[in-house]
């Protein structure tokens, strides 16, 4: 009887790890679906380095900060964007991530968060330096493809 119980413990442990892994994978999938559904509908130019790229980064960071924590946005920005050190495109992304994290942190609702992100991008500018203004690179640097 004890041998049967002992044999079930590793199987239970395996299932727990599988469930935990699925839950961890579900969150990034949720963020990607939430962001890209709106990103493609926005129809903005400059999928890379332009307003569309700025919108995608600002929105993704807002979603993560709103649903989880701005700390996650900070960590991802440090890892993925190297906080913009020495690269204009990465600096732009890091800048917009910080704005998105603030928007998500301060949002009262999902709809308010989305409206604030859209407004931040609408009032954004090329090479904006202000901590409150979304930025993107000049049109000569834009790429329509995301890769």
Residue 125's pLDDT is 97
Question: CB count, 10 Å around CB of 38?
Answer: 16
Which residues lie below 8 Å from residue 15, measured CB to CB, with a gap of 6+? Answer: none
Measured over the CA atoms of residue 102, residue 90, residue 124 and residue 47, the dihedral's sign is negative
Tokens of 29: 């999938």
In this predicted structure, what is the pLDDT of residue 1? Answer: 52
Q: What is the pLDDT of residues 36-74, one digit of tens each?
A: 999 999 999 999 999 999 999 999 999 999 999 999 999
Condensed to tens digits (0 to 9), the pLDDT of residues 85-103 reads 678 999 999 999 999 999 9
pLDDT band at residue 10 using 50, 70 and 90 as cut-offs = low
pLDDT of residue 23: 81
pTM: 0.84
Q: Which one is predicted more confidently, 49 or 144?
A: 49
Tell me: pLDDT of 107 over 80.
Answer: yes
On average, the pLDDT of the chain sits at: 89
Average pLDDT over residues 26-36: 94
Closest CA to 104 of 130, 76, 81, 85: 76
Residue predicted with more confidence, 14 or 105: 105
């Amino acid at each position: 009887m004890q041998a049967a119980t002992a044999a079930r413990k590793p199987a239970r442990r395996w299932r727990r790890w599988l469930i935990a892994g699925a839950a961890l994978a579900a969150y990034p999938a949720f963020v990607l679906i939430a962001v890209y559904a709106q990103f493609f509908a926005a129809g903005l130019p400059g999928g890379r380095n332009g307003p569309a790229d700025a919108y995608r980064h600002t929105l993704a960071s807002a979603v993560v900060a709103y649903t989880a924590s701005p700390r996650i946005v900070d960590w991802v920005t440090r890892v993925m964007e190297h906080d913009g050190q020495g690269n204009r495109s990465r600096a732009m992304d890091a800048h917009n991530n910080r704005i998105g994290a603030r928007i998500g942190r301060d949002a009262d609702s999902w709809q308010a968060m989305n409206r604030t992100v859209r407004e931040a991008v609408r009032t954004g500018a090329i090479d904006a330096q202000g901590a409150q203004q979304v930025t993107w690179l000049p049109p000569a640097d834009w790429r329509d493809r995301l890769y």
